[in-house]
Each structure stands twice: as C-alpha cells, then as structure tokens.
Amino acid sequence: MATFKDSVDWLSSNPPVVTGIAAVLLAILINTLTTPRQVDPREPPLLKPTIPFIGHIIGLIRHQAEYHRILQRKSGQAIVTLPMLTGKMYAIWDPSLISAGLKNKHLSTKPQIKSAVSPLMKVSKGTVDLMMGDQGDHLQDRIMLHAIPTSFSGEAQQSFIEGALKEVSRQFTSLSSSSQQQDIPNVWVWVRELVAKATTPPLYGKDQDPFTRDPSLIQYFWDYNEYLMGLLIDIFPSILARKGHLGRKKLVEALAPYYKSQAEDSPDASALIRLRAREMRNAGLPVEDIAKIEALLPFAAMTNTVPTLFWFFTHVFTRPEVVKQLRKEVEDSLLSRDGPKAKLVLSTSILEQTTPLLWSCYKETLRLTVHQIATRTVMQDTTITSNTTGRTYFLQEGTVVQMSIGVSHSLPEYWGTTNQEFKADRFVGLTKEEERGLKIAHQPYGGGLHLCPGRHFALAEMMAIMTTLLVGFKVDSLDGREDWKGPDRGVASIVDAATKPKSDGQGFGARIRRRKGWEDVAWEYEF
C-alpha cells in the first residue's frame, strides 16, 4: 500500500498534476473575486458548461490552454462569457478582438502581478504592502513604461544583442572540427544550455553572471518554471512543488549577493538589469526582496526563446530538402567569408527581403509554438470592437479576460486545412492582401502596451544559431536515419506562452559536425 510519502513524491515528480490541482484552486479564487454571473445583454454571449458551475473549471484543468481551442471549435464564437461558480470570465478568440483587447488601456495585468507578489515571490510584508497600494502601481508603471522600453531601444538594445552574439560566436567557434563529431543525446537540453550561455552573460555582466559562476542554476531555473503554478497557489510548496520550491530558493541565493554588491552597475551588465533594480531601490525595496522579484527575470529572457528555437531547429533539420534550400538562401544573401572568418548579416529587414523561406520558417515556427493565454482584468467598464465585423462588446469592471493567441494561430479560416501542420513556405509569395489577412491572426509577440520588448533580441539569438548551423555544420539524427522525426508536443500550459516538447524532448537527439571546408572558421554576426 502506498504511503503518504509515496503520494507526496509522486505529486512532486508530476508537475502537470500539480498544475491541474493548482488551476482548480486558482479558478475558485478568481471566481470568488469576480463579478456575479448575471450577464448584461451588451456583453459577449454566454457559453454554458456541460456541468453547471464547474464545467469550465474542469475543462481548463484537464486541457489547459487547449481548452480555448476546444470551446472555439464547439461554439464558433468570436468572444464568449464563461460562467464559473458565482462569477464569470470572458474568453476572446477572434484575432481582431484579441488585438483590440491587447491595446485597450482598461484591461490590465496589474491585478495578476499583485496576486503573485506574496505567494510566488515570497517577499517581505513591507514589500507586499507597498506593491498592493498606489506606490506599487507607480513602481509597475516605472518598470513597464520606462525601464523596459529604455533597455530595449537604441544603444542599450544594440549593446545587449552584440553581447549575446559574441557568446554565440564563442560557442560555435569552439565546436569540434570535422574529424570529430558532437553527439547531442537531448536537443531540448542542449538548446536550453546554448541559449542560457548566450543570454545570461550580457544580461548580468560577463564577470558577475551568477549562471556562469554556477551552471547548475540553469536546471534550477527550469525547475522553477515547471512548477510555477503550484508555487503561485502556495499550498505546501516545499512538498507539492518541491523541485520548483528548491529551484526558486537556489536562484534567490545566487542573486542576493549580486544585488547586495550592486553588481548591476558594472559596465558590462545590461541596461535591463540596471534600470529595473534602480527603480526598485528608489521605491525603497530591500535588497533581499529585489533578488526574490528578479529571480523571475530570466523567464522573460529564456522561457519563450528556448522552445521557439527548439521547434525552429526541429522543423528545419528534420526536413533535408528545406535545409538545402535554406543553406543556399543564407550563403547567397547573408554570408561573407574572408579566409578563416565568416560573417552573417542578420538584420530584420535583410532577412525579410533576401531570405523569404528562412523568414517564413521562422514565422511558421512562431505560429505553431506560441499558444499564449493573455490574461487581463477589466479595471473599469469598457468596450472592444472587431475591425473585421464592426461588432462591439461591453466588458464589465472586475471581470477576468483571457485572450487565446493559440486559437488565433490555428483558425482554419486564416490558415486553411493545414492549420495544424508546419508548412515551410506558408508566408512566401503572398500578395499584399494575403499578407494583411494573415498578419491579423499572427500575434506571437502580443500587442499594445505588452508587445514583447525583447523580440529583436530573441530573433538575433535564434537567427545567429540557425544560420550558423545551416552554413557551417551538418546536422543529422543520432542513428543516421533519414526519416528523422521530432518529439511530440507537450501540454500547452496556461502559464507558459510557448509549447515545450513532451517529456523534455527525451529520445530526440542530434549529431553535429563541421562541414568540409568550414573546419576552422570563426563566426561573426551583424544585426
């Protein structure tokens, strides 16, 4: 007979189960705080659950982000009101309405951020009290409207990107010569480490980077990410979300000395680290709480880039004919070589204009990978209007809104009968009208105030890695099979924006070796 300890161990090693349990409790909490279930005739149409009161909660627990696709296919609606217990929630699926919702200044993430301060970040009571009040709103605005935009503009962004590309160059230049080969048993883990090694030195400063000093932090970071929902609910986290609890603890322990020594002011640290910390120090937050809050910062830097790059790699290199076409595009348009030095030009405009198939593969990967559920709260009564139908919907103050980018990325009316498939040339050779039509439904970076500020940084990293592999390396399956297939997709989690591979990509490995004539090349990048 299983003991209590056996049950705890099983729960701790099964994050999807913990996430499901946590989602139940979170849904109950949300619906306790939301408005009554009475629906105004001006509101989105009511979509009743099969099981009264709790049906939609069960659906979200069981299917997570995929539940929105199920409901949209079932109802055919653009936007609905979902009754839950004594409350309700709006679900938006139409691309035009999602765009309007993301831009609406009365739909805010502040309540969601405030609700995470105490359970997820474990900061002091003083910081919790500050964040819950007007001063907390001001701090959020300073970070969102000043620190982050400033960090990803002009010289600050260019310096950040150049630092990352130097790390990518260093890693590829040191890869084995053609007389040897590098066997990668798990591509997912390899991509995680590759991105971390390129991202954290320019983020924190090469000499002070906690992740460079202690590489084990990379795994602790992903453990923290995996159990995020269980930690957010905060019920026996050291037991039911043990790996995530330990991951958070280790990250905070590594970051606390960094901020205590004010290492963010070092010349090679990014403006993002420096400006965020400065705003929190100016607001009076203690150093220990800054470290706890900033333990979440690597999420923004890596949790979307890693799965996107993984699937980009997978979709391309398991298709030999696509590899051949892309290699020619890159060699003809992006590459220059001077003896042992090879330079790749990766600016967005050049990629779009001169490598249409590569750009299409990138956009198609984003379409299939990003399933984000953008969650907001209606801060005051407002309306949103569809640009395609002209219909306007009333949204009631205090109600939670979920906008499914994943639904937008899979609607047959935009993507046809191949909407669930990777089509390498989907975005090639489109007319201006066709481009405008697909642009409405292609929303991987969000929009409005929350348009992803780091999208150019992520693009630079991913394109540097992919173009280098295409030109300078031969990438095959570990066993040399030509019918090489990628792993299955994992659960499209409500808390993640990009879908990870099932079982951490176990069983999907690769063999990488230098192509003939590229044995001793050093790589340079221009963005």
Q: Where is the binding site for heme, in residues?
A: 452
- DSSP-based three-state secondary structure for 2: coil
- In contact, 348 and 358? CB cutoff 8 Å: no
Strand 107-108 with 182-184, pairing: unpaired
Residue type, 402: Q
Contact predicate 346/334, CB 8 Å: yes
Q: Residue ranges for the binding site?
A: 452
Q: How far apart are CA 456 and CA 470, in angstroms?
A: 21
Question: How many whole angstroms separate alpha carbon 6 and alpha carbon 296?
Answer: 31
Residues 509/490/497/196 CA torsion (nearest 10 deg): -30
Helices (H), 261-402: 271-282, 287-294, 297-302, 305-317, 320-333, 348-354, 356-369
- Strand spans (E) along 55-200: 79-84, 87-92, 107-108, 182-184
Using a 10 angstrom Cβ sphere, with 0-12 exposed, 13-18 middle and 19 or more buried, the burial of residue 349 is: exposed
CB 199 within 8 A of CB 157: no
